[in-house]
């Protein structure tokens, strides 16, 4: 299934530039995480305002499960190192923290 997605991109032409299949997987995982964040943030904010803590715990647990389980075949068959998955998550977390800090500083500046 994952090989069919890479058929949309001509990997042979990108290999000339030094891009490997692992890089494409990293970009794909980063995009998936970003899309999930954009879609789920309003829903999670609504749940927090309503104080549905059990639903939030279930949501976070199921998201972790749904994110990690489909990745197991990729790690096993392609030999994709788990360290790169951690790297993707940490880069996303750092970028998200910078975005939150930027929004916070912008609200402080508007208040002055």
pTM (2 decimals)?
A: 0.46
**Spatial separation of the C-alpha atoms in residues 99 and 97, rounded to whole Å:** 5
Residue 42 pLDDT: 86
**Spatial separation of the C-alpha atoms in residues 81 and 20, rounded to whole Å:** 14
Asked if the model's pLDDT at residue 112 lies above 70, the reply is: no
Taking all residues of the chain, what is their mean pLDDT, rounded to a whole number? 77
């Amino acid at each position: 299934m994952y090989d069919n997605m890479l058929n949309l991109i001509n990997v042979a032409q990108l290999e000339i530039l030094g891009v490997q299949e692992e890089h494409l997987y990293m970009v794909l995982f980063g995009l998936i995480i970003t899309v999930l964040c954009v879609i789920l943030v309003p829903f999670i904010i609504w749940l927090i305002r309503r104080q549905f803590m059990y639903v939030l715990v279930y949501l976070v647990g199921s998201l972790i499960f749904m994110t990690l389980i489909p990745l197991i075949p990729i790690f096993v068959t392609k030999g994709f190192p788990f360290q790169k998955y951690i790297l993707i998550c940490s880069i996303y977390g750092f970028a998200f923290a910078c975005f939150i800090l930027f929004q916070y500083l912008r609200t402080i500046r508007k208040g002055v």
